[in-house]
């Protein structure tokens, strides 16, 4: 009897997941962008899942990205599962302790690691999200926790510069603190 109830519950969950709108981006849910950035960083850097500083940095950044899109993803079952999974991984590998220890030892934030560009596309856009993650018009993605400024757009017409700083003095997490836009004179 219990087996049948569990099976029915499991089938109901799978049915809900199947009926769930898988195109979360259309509703404004940017979870897929967070997951793509996480997956690409893990693969590009060859990061080992486990109790290590770099994995904890990436998971923390992933979790921050997910939190930023939480309001838009409220009705997404997959979002809630992914968010819970990220929480469990941070807890399982004691990431709060590892990152706090790294910060206490005065380690500098890792330099930017640039994953390979996306395949060419006719779509031209730039975007900023997360801790901070920046995708430029030429599809380069920058994911880093550096304090300072970097150009987001730099061409003969326009310069958009993004500055980031630490969220708290005792944290390695950074956030965008200023965006500067300069419209250049051109002939």
At 104-139, the pLDDT tens digits run 776 655 555 545 455 555 545 556 655 566 666 666
**Residue 119 and residue 73: Cα distance in Å, rounded?**
27
Position 97 scores a pLDDT of 92
**Nearest residue to 37 via CA among 72, 94, 86:** 86
3-state secondary structure of 146: coil
Ranked by mean pLDDT, the top range of 5-14, 59-68, 159-168, 173-182 is: 59-68
Residue 162 pairs in a beta bridge with 150, 179
Strands 127-129 and 133-135: antiparallel
Mean pLDDT of 144-153: 73
> Of all helices (H) and strands (E), which one includes residue 154?
strand 148-154
Position 159 scores a pLDDT of 81
- Residue whose tokens read 């950044």: 61
At 65-97, the pLDDT tens digits run 898 888 888 888 889 999 999 999 999 999 999
> Of all helices (H) and strands (E), which one includes residue 3?
helix 2-19
**Nearest residue to 90 via CA among 112, 114, 106, 67:** 67
Mean pLDDT of 136-147: 67
**Nearest residue to 127 via CA among 160, 174, 165, 155:** 160
Instruction: Fill in the DSSP letter of residue 170.
Output: T
- The answer to whether the pTM exceeds 0.75 is no
Position 52 scores a pLDDT of 92
Position 175 scores a pLDDT of 76
């Amino acid at each position: 009897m219990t087996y049948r109830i569990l099976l029915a519950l499991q089938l109901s969950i799978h049915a809900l997941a199947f009926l769930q709108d898988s195109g979360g981006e259309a509703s404004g849910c940017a979870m897929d962008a967070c997951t793509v950035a996480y997956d690409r960083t893990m693969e590009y850097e060859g990061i080992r899942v486990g109790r290590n500083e770099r994995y904890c940095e990436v998971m923390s950044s992933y979790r921050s990205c997910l939190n930023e899109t939480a309001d838009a993803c409220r009705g997404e079952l997959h979002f809630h599962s992914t968010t819970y999974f990220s929480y469990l991984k941070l807890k399982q590998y004691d990431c709060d302790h590892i990152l706090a220890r790294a910060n206490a030892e005065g380690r500098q934030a890792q330099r930017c690691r640039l994953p390979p560009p996306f395949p060419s596309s006719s779509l031209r856009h730039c975007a900023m999200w997360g801790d901070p993650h920046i995708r430029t018009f030429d599809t380069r993605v920058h994911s880093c926790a550096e304090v300072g400024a970097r150009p987001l757009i730099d061409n003969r017409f326009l310069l958009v510069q993004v500055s980031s700083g630490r969220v708290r003095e005792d944290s390695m997490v950074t956030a965008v603190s200023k965006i500067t836009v300069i419209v250049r004179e051109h002939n």
